[in-house]
Structure 1
Amino acid sequence: MSTIHASLNLIDQQPAGCERIEKMLEASAYWRPDATHQLSSCDHACRMARASLINTRQSRLESVHRDSSGNMITANARLDNRDELAGQLEIPANELEQHADGMLILLAYKRWGEACPKQLLGDFAFVIYDAVQDKVFAARDHFGVKVLFYTRTESEWLLSNEHNAFFTSGAVKKVIKESWLVQQLWALRSNRFESPVNGIETLPAAHSITLDRTGNASISRYWDLEERDDWNGWDDASLIDELKRRFEQAVRSRLNSEYPLASELSEGIDSNGITGFAARALGEEPLYTLSYGCIELDDDNRHIWEATYQDIYEMQAMHANIQPIWRKQEKNNSLTLQQQTLNRHAGVPMPVKDGAHISYGRLAAKKGVRTLLSGWGGDHCVSTYGDFYESELLNQGKFITLHRLLREKRARGRSGKPAKAWAGLLLKHAIPPLFRSLMRRKRGLVDGQHHLAHSHPLKRIHVERYQLMQKQQEFLKQYERYSVKAHHQRELFDVGVEPRLVESELCSRIYRIEYRYPMLDVRLVELAYNMPSHLKVYQGIERYMYRKILEGVTTERIRWRVKADVQHPRYDHIDNNNRSESRESIKDQTDDSALVRDYLDLDGSKQAKARRLQKGIELLLEIEEQRQSGEMEITKAS
């Protein structure tokens, strides 16, 4: 893990000198880097810097690298295909260990030019200065595990994966986009991470960008998830064996660390698979696990956690080297404090939807951990439920197979009566608007979004100005899919995988932790995407192909049970320290806030969820405090 910074002066502009890049580096001081490096191009048109966290042997070799042609690179990278690259680049096997990942990427650029990201596997964000063509080329990994921001000022291009670097450098003012603010308050879903600040852009996942000194920028996509026929003719058993091989390799390739490792572990099959395979691969080396809030079970909370923890205890007992991390219940509102910590280091408010990113980093760091495995992204493709297989069969005219599937899902408790399921399916295909209308009456995402639209206290002027109702309807319309592969595309790219990854990176960096995601291994995802749909929901058993590969690494109960049997924590009984503030408390906080009154109608918010309302108010109050001190502004839509 590292933070990277680069500046490229525009033509006819005076070089910014070392001060700009040094001030960008200052933004990383909070996480106490193990080393920092700076380098300038020969003509001083480009300057680069890097703040390093050492967690692997290769990371000890990382720096801002320069080759014999004067090309430079600063990279935050963890490559999975080092051996393959070495062969393609004709690097002798006995010399590969002397090459950091950043240097391999620079050599790949020299060989393939702007096509080099297509040759890379792993998690990466990098910036290259091409001394011959006098331009900057940068890229980000396939799913967006590593983030990269950029901006253009009057005199230069700036790039960094440290959001606050744009402010510590003095290059960008803290001007919050009102469009971003109202979408945060409204909780409108987004498929990509967006900086709150006007002028700071986020390079999309699986994209590269070329910046020249005339001020021009060119962005292109270098990878997409596509249908492939590589496995045509393979039987079911061979396909599942290949899935297991690739999954195990995805886990193993993410265990490279000179420090202890930790893994998220719930009672779900995604985290169980990763933790189980990792524990096996590590042998006698310890693997720490983090579960839910890591609250230690005692007599005061037994009614909340005991049933949930039982599954986790049984899984942990299968692997002698698993060492669970537990802590005492905290009396303060830790999520609020953690959110404030992130905001301070990001330079602006940056709401996090899942506080586990921060709390896990803090707990793991106390054990000396610098690498944390996560099962996030699994059910988006690799451990898919096989949703929309029914629509796929209907479109293919396979009515007998479809009816059998509906009966099998009914027997497993995953569907209603076949006749009712048929009626809903036919209505979905024949009259989509009527189907969407009926879906509002069911508890679920559609109903929840509909309720949000009609109960949220955001004032109507903002809802109308930014067309939030229309955007929500567009989101719900594209949410419908008619095949399993279309569902994978939706889950991976359309409903917000990337924002969660960025949140995790920014939060864990505070505690010198790097997140790694085996479920987002490119070769694993490409295979899972192209596996036949009948293996994804086989004889009514959802997530079948993934369940098959978990034999011996988790309990049989976890491996085969239905979701309805999962024992979730009884949050209704969790004490008030972990509940949202009362509405009376909310009113007390906001009586004197002009900004809250500008955006929210609290008198009409009785149906809004208190926790969501509280988070929105905390966001507005923090912005208001910085506005009053002159540090921050809000810009409205033109």
Structure 2
Amino acid sequence: MSSIIGIINKKGRTLEPALVEKTMVPPVYWEPDDSGIWSRGPVALGCHMLYTTPGSLNEKLPHYHEESGCCITADARIDYREELAEELNLDWKDARNLPDSIFLLKAYQKWGRDCVKHFYGDFAFAIWDDRSQTLFAARDHFGCRPFYYFETEELFAFSSDIMGLMLMPGFSAKIDEMFLVDTLATIVPEKDKTAFETLFRLRPAHMLSIDRDAGLTTVRYWDLELKPAFTGLNETEAAAGLRQRFMKAVGERCRSAFPVGIELSGGLDSSAIACAASGVSNKENSLTAFSHTLSEEQKKHYYPFIDETGYAEIVAGTCHFKDHFRIHGEGSYGCLQVLSDFLDLCPMPYGQGFSLFSDLLYNSARKAGVRVLLSGFGGDEGVTSQAGGFFEELVQAGKLGELKKQLRLKIRKGGGNY
């Protein structure tokens, strides 16, 4: 994941180079492969790049296109590129090795703000249009790539990493108490809120624009919907359609110039992804598996528990991975140190922090040269979800009538009282 940043002086005044340099804080938890700044008058864009895809190896960001007067900075992996190239009337032989940021820019040049309706993948990007003096930005459908922003009377700034934003003049670290209350009460905070009152997130599936006339606006460009074309499928047809799309989706995420890894638990979600990925991998990006396990000594202290190690071993053997690392953490510094390190890296509280307990696994992946790590995390909330947070969402939305209806259906189906 690369890190992007941008600053606009809303009064049209030229940005001071010292301010731009100050906000380009190098990431503290990874070393960029390249860094760049583009600045013109009241606007500056920057990027700390982490190479992942083959196209990124020759990518320079920010990228300014002289003919259109547009400059882009992006943290993106665009999927289904061949189909997008066809829509853009590009010869796939020439477009195959183009960086993802060029696909984004060409789409903006053709469709304007409607370009986001043609994108699949994980992305957060911003384009400054010199001719219209407008900034356009967008975040992917599920918010996989971060995009924070804040504004004062004079400045608007955004970044993937809030450390640089905290150094901006006018930034306030005043805590948003409602965000903390919602987080502690396990009620999901608003998608645009953060722990700081004046710092916001661009919501997933939203685009943002800012200009001198309309100011700052955000608009939703996509929502999950049930397509009527799928409602008439029988079980066999639905399973075949799901399999085809699943295999394609996993394959798109294996596009890497470096080794590809998989977090393998032995459960349904990660095992399915591992098997799908093994079918599209090759010698250049052969798969390496990483599994959380317990040592024999640890098993004496953690019982009863469900040990899925055997399932992970079966999957690893079937998929013929390049290597299989088993991480149990025995002899390491322990979870309290991991928590301490996490707090040192993160300048504000977050809603969830499950990933911090996977530090040992992530470090193993990094040492193995892996830059794309597949995971089944989130499958419990998606494909195999029991919808445990549905009632809380209805409460948060104030839909008490629907809550009462759904509780009755739950009781009728499964018994019990609420």
**TM-score if structure 2 supplies the norm length?**
0.85
- For 1:32 and 1:174, the matched residues in 2 are separated by 27
Partner of 2:48: 51
Shift of 1:475: 8.4
Contact 1:9 1:213 in 2 (8 A): no
Partner of 1:39: 38
- For 1:336 and 1:220, the matched residues in 2 are separated by 41
Contact 2:183 2:189 in 1 (8 A): no
- Could you say what secondary structure the match of 2:143 adopts? coil
Matched, 1:364 2:369: no
Partner of 1:116: 115
Structure 1 residues without counterparts, runs of 5 or longer: 388-443, 450-469, 488-638
Contact 2:207 2:218 in 1 (8 A): yes
Task: Report percent identity of matched pairs.
Answer: 27
Deviations 1:533-559 (A, max 9, x none): xxxxxxxxxxxxxxxxxxxxxxxxxxx
Shift of 1:222: 0.6
Alignment of 1:35-434 (within 5 A): 35-41=34-40, 44-62=41-59, 63-67=61-65, 68-190=67-189, 192=191, 194-213=193-212, 216-231=215-230, 234-283=233-282, 286-292=286-292, 294-295=293-294, 297-301=295-299, 304=302, 307-321=307-321, 323-330=323-330, 334-350=334-350, 352-354=352-354, 355-383=356-384
- For 2:385 and 2:351, the matched residues in 1 are separated by 28
The one-letter code of the counterpart of 1:46 is V
Contact 1:342 1:350 in 2 (8 A): no
Q: Which deviates more from structure 2 when the two are superposed, residues 180-189 or residues 245-254?
A: 180-189
Partner of 1:536: none
- Could you say what secondary structure the match of 1:86 adopts? helix
Alignment of 1:377-526 (within 5 A): 377-383=378-384, 474=398
- For 2:75 and 2:7, the matched residues in 1 are separated by 16
Contact 2:85 2:95 in 1 (8 A): yes
Deviations 1:53-103 (A, max 9, x none): 012211123311112121111011100021122122222223213521111
Shift of 1:106: 1.1
The one-letter code of the counterpart of 1:84 is E
Deviations 1:187-244 (A, max 9, x none): 4333636321121110000010111135721111111112223346544323322211
Deviations 1:156-203 (A, max 9, x none): 110111111111344513222222233333343336363211211100
- For 2:125 and 2:220, the matched residues in 1 are separated by 15
**TM-score if structure 1 supplies the norm length?**
0.58
Contact 1:39 1:64 in 2 (8 A): yes
> Greater RCO between the two (CA within 8 Å, min separation 6)?
1
- For 1:446 and 1:209, the matched residues in 2 are separated by 29
Contact 2:116 2:138 in 1 (8 A): yes
Contact 1:24 1:165 in 2 (8 A): yes
The one-letter code of the counterpart of 1:48 is L
Cα distance 1:249–1:356, how it changes in 2: closer, same or farther (>3 A)?
Answer: farther
Is the radius of gyration larger for structure 1 or structure 2?
Answer: 1
- For 1:307 and 1:29, the matched residues in 2 are separated by 36
- For 1:153 and 1:104, the matched residues in 2 are separated by 32
- For 1:38 and 1:472, the matched residues in 2 are separated by 42
Cα distance 1:84–1:445, how it changes in 2: closer, same or farther (>3 A)?
Answer: closer
- For 1:147 and 1:219, the matched residues in 2 are separated by 16
Q: CA RMSD in A?
A: 3.1
- For 1:235 and 1:374, the matched residues in 2 are separated by 29
- Could you say what secondary structure the match of 1:318 adopts? helix
Contact 1:208 1:222 in 2 (8 A): yes
Partner of 1:398: none
- Could you say what secondary structure the match of 2:24 adopts? helix
- Could you say what secondary structure the match of 1:196 adopts? coil
Deviations 1:100-126 (A, max 9, x none): 111111111111111110011111011
**Count of residues paired in the alignment:** 402
- For 1:233 and 1:329, the matched residues in 2 are separated by 49
Q: Which deviates more from structure 2 when the two are superposed, residues 357-366 or residues 230-239?
A: 230-239
Shift of 1:324: 2.4
Deviations 1:260-287 (A, max 9, x none): 2111222321111001111232256642
